Amino acid sequence: MGGFDLAPCGYRMDGLPPVSYSQRLELELKLVPESEREDAVQVAWVAHLDGEDAGLAVKKWWMGTLRRRRREQTNLL
């Protein structure tokens, strides 16, 4: 896990799941606005606990959120 501080339980102190591909997950989280980041971290944890790729789950969730918002804005016109 590199130079990350660990909590006594072994999880990272930054709240992200302990995944071997943490740089990819961090990159995907950077693409999510600060206001949505807490939800993105929750998506990452659920994916991690389900044995799925947390970075990919965050990317899919955010792309779906953007599509839904565009569709909602289009329907308002």
Question: Which among 35, 8, 2 is positioned nearest to 25, based on CA atoms?
Answer: 2
- Determine the 3-state secondary structure of 63 from DSSP: helix
Write the CA distances from 18 to 3, 6, 55, integer angstroms: 13, 10, 12
The arithmetic mean of pLDDT across residues 4-25, rounded, is 66
pLDDT tens-digit map of 31-67: 999 999 999 999 999 999 899 999 999 999 999 999 9
Q: How high does pLDDT run on average in the chain?
A: 82
H-run or E-run covering 27: helix 22-30
Phi then psi dihedrals of residue 32, to 5 deg:
-95, 130
pLDDT of residue 5: 56
What are the extents of the domains in the chain? 22-76
Model confidence, pTM: 0.75
